[in-house]
A and B are shown apart, each in its own frame.
Chain A
């Protein structure tokens, strides 16, 4: 059995987990994007076909799915800006951990706001 490497700065720490999160959210967003271009393309088939399929996005279960998707997008967006700062800002690598916590705090704030607004609109009577 290989021994566990000790004292690495990256493995198992913030840098690694943010990288894992960035990959997973990126793949999720990419596959949604493929589906989303296809469903939007139904406007070219007929108004009723589009409205019927987009109606599938308006049920309560999908409202939760949309919230999850937006959570993935917002994390990928903020963490992407962090990656740019790590690459281009002189002190980026030094402060990458602090920047990850900033990303997570901003993500939580944005998601609380988004969830309240979107879920009350999507689930509320109208």
Chain B
């Protein structure tokens, strides 16, 4: 429960921090830190326009998409305190629940019969397929290292000590951070601020969503960021008391948001045909982490 509340709180600020960092580094005055939340509230006040082509799937999709991320958030523990949903190999459920959300997002986009949205849907389907192995491999390596099998027990057991485990923690951090960027379609895979539909991924999938539907989708994106950052925070707070854990958790969220903001300020988007390579490289790095753990526990030689 602690983790859910904290994720909700940090989701309120996460995108705001990214926007602030971007505007500061660009030398602009920029919007306030609460602007993303205000956007959602404004959208919630509005009515909606639906495409004549779209059917029930299009209307259900945003709800399932948000539900998938909420359910996934429920799986995330707070250090040694388990999330509301917790069982052995719950990270498999976590990944597959997110995949169901994506499934609906993709078919929701196809429901409008738009050429642009089909493009986004095809890219999202392919990229999430390529990104999935990285998550499983890095969770596998953490499970292998600790000998436990659920989010909560893995993170409770995990406390970086010694160069090898620090290296693994660093790799895990990197992978979760890049996964968060891929899943939210941020730089370097996708540019949320691009103005050309042909080069978008996520934004082009939701072109036809308006009003509360768009609000729900934006909200889902914020939650997703906070959720991945919460997993990164969990790499550190497993063995420290809750009192210290909460500030560390919030600090990690802020640091993640700053890193993403800086990355977006100073890097450019990849060419679309380089994305698959980039995403699959992540799986290879995760494989390295697995072999690192095997080396550490003497299973390789």
- A and B held together in a complex: no
Binding site for B on A (CB under 8 A): none
Binding site for A on B (CB under 8 A): none
